[in-house]
């Protein structure tokens, strides 16, 4: 049954112990723990109630309690013994002595192992060292740990084992449990926030015939009875806006999206997103709402707007706002002058002019920043890690502009991501995005090449994306057609045509603001977790073949 001899022998020994426990008259797997005349309390409730009581007070008026938990430490001492029970993240010590529990129960006690579940009843007292402890009268066996627990001092430290065997990680490492308690609190706070503002929580399809609403590669699945391929959704966006057309003026959805792309400390193939839509609002309204929301959630969850991420203190009550073009100028590194000016972003020619001045000015001067590789094809640049991201981005922008592979807006967005994004540690809203990278957003009235869209950043990565929704069906159809063009040119992430969505818009979508917020990433920020896998209970791992399977495969 087990690959290791050690685990198999422990398992066999524990089965023998279970047999002995049954021989003493205790069921090996009882159906419940329900002592007579005594309500079973949680360990948290007992601690909450009696942690403040002195030993004298507990001696004067005896408090009888019943509780259950997993044995996390056990210290036998002749005809008595201590054990520490753990339940729901709370711990409490128990003390069992033969003259109190009787011969039979003490025999049972001696058959207990770390990891077993037991129930006890008895009275509370304080030991010589002052620790609150249950003096056990009756001992009930509940369930056996058939495998040995990890080391009791260091716990389970191997990162891979922690993700693969989260069930062990959770009861061994208290802080892991805390992260997921907070994650639940974050979801609760978000629902509270939106419910209080008249938003309706809805659920839209996760299996979609057209995977729309974002630029990403979808997972494909198949429905047998209908014999059709379906996609796991990459975003709920287009369905939620259909609901706004239908008169649900304020809706939100919190659930999973699936994107068939790379895995990193910031990306899991399935991730949780909050998306919400508010009729008669625009992106400026959502900026205010976003700042309010993040602060509210932080206060509800942590009781403070301060949080520490990557050893940097972040204040979620202090927000900055820049346009994308302003951000490039502001965050342009001084060692890489000339810094661009707003006019440089006006046309392909002006941008190319600035890029050339910048690359020439830096050539050979600052080796760490700009290596001498101007002539190289960009395919090598993109996948190489030996050049500065800034340099790679500038070259990519320049080459794609010269070869007319990308519009001006796409090049500017490229430069922005390389220059500014890593520096956006404190809460920052970046607004006014290029039309070219925003197929679903509404144009700015005075600058038709730019749209009313913003993203917000905390800790150096993007947490949310919002815009004034494009509600002109004719324009939307044109944008889809443009995306189809990019699809034909090989962009697998370009948007597909969604005729029914255009039809929905044709019935009239009111001016609407919509936003998506990555819950996993927000949880990272609020819990100080560096990896997204630390805030997802079961992150996707490559399945591990057993040795016997591996042999079979290789044959």
Partner RNA sequence: GAGCGCGUAGCUCAGGUGGUAGAGCAACGCACUUUUAAUGCGUGGGUCCUGGGUUCGAGUCCCAGCGCGCUCACCA
Q: In whole angstroms, what is the distance from residue 526 CA to residue 316 CA?
A: 10
Question: Closest CB to RNA among 73 and 497?
Answer: 73
Q: Tell me if residue 477 falls in helix, strand or coil.
A: helix
H-run or E-run covering 454:
strand 447-458
Question: Closest CB to RNA among 104 and 384?
Answer: 384
439 is a contact residue toward RNA (CB under 7 A) = no
155 is a contact residue toward RNA (CB under 7 A) = yes
32 is a contact residue toward RNA (CB under 7 A) = no
- Which of 1, 13, 5, 153 has its CA nearest to residue 73? 153
Is-contact 395 403, C-beta < 8 A?
Answer: no
Strands 220-223, 270-279: pairing is: unpaired
278 is a contact residue toward RNA (CB under 7 A) = no
Stretch in the footprint of RNA (CB under 7 A) among 127-135, 274-282, 353-361, 504-512 = 127-135
Cα–Cα distances in angstroms (integers) from residue 297 to residues 195, 294, 304, 520, in the given order: 13, 5, 9, 14
Q: Please identify which residue in 109, 514, 518, 523 interacts with RNA, judged by CB under 7 A.
A: 518
Question: Closest CB to RNA among 69 and 150?
Answer: 150
158 is a contact residue toward RNA (CB under 7 A) = yes
133 is a contact residue toward RNA (CB under 7 A) = yes
Q: In whole angstroms, what is the distance from residue 352 CA to residue 344 CA?
A: 8
Stretch in the footprint of RNA (CB under 7 A) among 23-31, 177-185, 257-265, 496-504 = 257-265
Site string for RNA, 96-125 (x = CB under 7 A): -xxx-------------xx----------x
Site string for RNA, 51-80 (x = CB under 7 A): ----------------------x-xxxxxx
* Strand residues in 44-116 grouped as ranges (E): 64-77, 80-87, 90-97
What single-letter DSSP state applies at residue 493? Answer: T
Q: Restricting to residues 315-374, which ones interact with RNA according to CB under 7 A? A: none
Q: In whole angstroms, what is the distance from residue 90 CA to residue 460 CA?
A: 35
Cα–Cα distances in angstroms (integers) from residue 494 to residues 239, 263, 393, 437, 486, in the given order: 18, 20, 21, 10, 6
481 is a contact residue toward RNA (CB under 7 A) = no
Question: Closest CB to RNA among 136 and 230?
Answer: 136
Q: How far is the CB of 94 from RNA (least distance, A)?
A: 10
Q: In whole angstroms, what is the distance from residue 244 CA to residue 140 CA?
A: 57
Q: How far is the CB of 312 from RNA (least distance, A)?
A: 14
Stretch in the footprint of RNA (CB under 7 A) among 152-160, 363-371, 397-405, 426-434 = 152-160
Question: Closest CB to RNA among 421 and 452?
Answer: 421
Stretch in the footprint of RNA (CB under 7 A) among 32-40, 242-250, 341-349, 532-540 = 532-540
461 is a contact residue toward RNA (CB under 7 A) = yes
Stretch in the footprint of RNA (CB under 7 A) among 196-204, 240-248, 479-487, 516-524 = 516-524
Question: Closest CB to RNA among 13 and 34?
Answer: 13
Q: Please identify which residue in 364, 385, 403, 448 interacts with RNA, judged by CB under 7 A.
A: 385
Stretch in the footprint of RNA (CB under 7 A) among 159-167, 296-304, 317-325, 476-484 = 159-167
Question: Closest CB to RNA among 340 and 439?
Answer: 439
Cα–Cα distances in angstroms (integers) from residue 526 to residues 7, 222, 250, 314, in the given order: 39, 38, 26, 10
Q: Please identify which residue in 266, 358, 443, 527 interacts with RNA, judged by CB under 7 A.
A: 266
End-to-end CA distance of the chain: 23
Strand order in the sheet with 220-223: 207-208, 228-232, 220-223
Scored b (16 or more CB within 10 A) or e, 46-82 reads: beeebeebebeebeeeeeebbbbbbbbebeeeeebbb
Question: Closest CB to RNA among 219 and 296?
Answer: 219
Question: Closest CB to RNA among 347 and 384?
Answer: 384
Q: In whole angstroms, what is the distance from residue 284 CA to residue 280 CA?
A: 12
Q: Please identify which residue in 54, 104, 264, 478 interacts with RNA, judged by CB under 7 A.
A: 264
230 is a contact residue toward RNA (CB under 7 A) = no
């Amino acid at each position: 049954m087990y690959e290791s001899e050690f685990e198999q022998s422990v398992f066999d020994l524990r089965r023998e112990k279970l047999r002995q426990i049954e021989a003493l008259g205790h069921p090996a797997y009882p159906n419940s723990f329900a002592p007579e005349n005594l309500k079973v309390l949680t360990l948290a409730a007992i601690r909450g109630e009696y942690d403040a009581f002195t030993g004298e007070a507990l001696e004067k008026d005896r408090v009888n309690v019943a509780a259950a938990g997993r044995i996390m430490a056990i210290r036998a001492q002749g005809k008595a013994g201590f054990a520490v029970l753990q339940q729901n993240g709370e711990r409490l010590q128990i003390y069992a002595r033969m003259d109190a529990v009787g011969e039979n129960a003490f025999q049972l006690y001696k058959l207990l192992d770390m990891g077993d579940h037991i129930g006890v009843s008895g009275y509370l007292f304080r030991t010589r060292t002052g620790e609150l402890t249950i003096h056990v009268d009756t001992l009930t066996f509940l369930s056996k740990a058939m495998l040995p627990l990890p080391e009791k001092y260091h716990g389970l430290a191997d990162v891979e084992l922690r993700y693969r065997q989260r069930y062990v990680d959770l009861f061994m490492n208290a802080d892991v449990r805390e992260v997921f308690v907070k994650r639940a609190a974050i979801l609760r706070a978000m629902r509270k926030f939106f419910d209080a503002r008249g938003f309706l929580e809805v659920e839209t399809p996760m299996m979609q015939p057209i995977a729309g609403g974002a630029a990403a590669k979808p997972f494909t699945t198949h429905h047998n009875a209908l014999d059709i391929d379906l996609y796991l959704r990459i975003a709920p966006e287009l369905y939620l806006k259909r609901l706004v057309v239908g008169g649900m003026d304020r809706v939100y959805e919190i659930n999973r999206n699936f994107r068939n792309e790379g895995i990193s400390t910031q990306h899991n193939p399935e991730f949780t997103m909050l998306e919400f839509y508010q009729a008669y609002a625009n992106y400026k309204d959502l900026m205010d709402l976003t700042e309010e929301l993040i602060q509210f959630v932080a206060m509800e969850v942590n009781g403070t707007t301060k949080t520490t991420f990557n050893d940097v203190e972040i204040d979620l009550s202090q927000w900055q706002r820049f346009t994308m073009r302003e951000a490039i100028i502001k965050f342009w590194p001084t060692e890489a002058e000339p810094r661009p000016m707003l006019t440089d972003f006006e046309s392909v020619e002006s941008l190319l002019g600035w890029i050339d001045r910048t690359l020439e000015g830096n050539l050979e001067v600052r080796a760490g920043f700009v290596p001498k590789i101007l002539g190289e094809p960009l395919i090598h640049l993109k996948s190489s890690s030996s050049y500065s991201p800034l340099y790679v981005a500038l070259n990519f922008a320049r080459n794609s502009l010269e070869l007319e592979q990308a519009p001006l807006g796409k090049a500017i967005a490229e430069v922005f991501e390389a220059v500014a994004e890593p520096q956006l540690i404190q809460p920052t809203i970046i607004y006014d995005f290029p039309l070219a990278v925003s197929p679903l957003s509404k144009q700015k009235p005075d600058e038709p090449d730019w749209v009313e869209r913003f993203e917000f950043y905390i800790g150096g990565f993007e947490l949310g994306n919002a815009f004034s929704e494009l509600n002109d069906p004719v324009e939307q159809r044109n944008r889809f057609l443009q995306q189809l063009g990019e699809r034909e040119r090989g962009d697998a992430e370009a948007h597909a045509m969604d005729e029914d969505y255009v039809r929905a818009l044709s019935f009239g979508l009111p001016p609407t603001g919509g936003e998506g917020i990555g819950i996993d990433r927000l949880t990272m920020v609020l819990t100080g977790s560096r990896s997204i896998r630390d805030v997802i209970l079961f992150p996707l791992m490559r399945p591990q073949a057993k040795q016997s399977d591996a042999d079979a495969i290789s044959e």
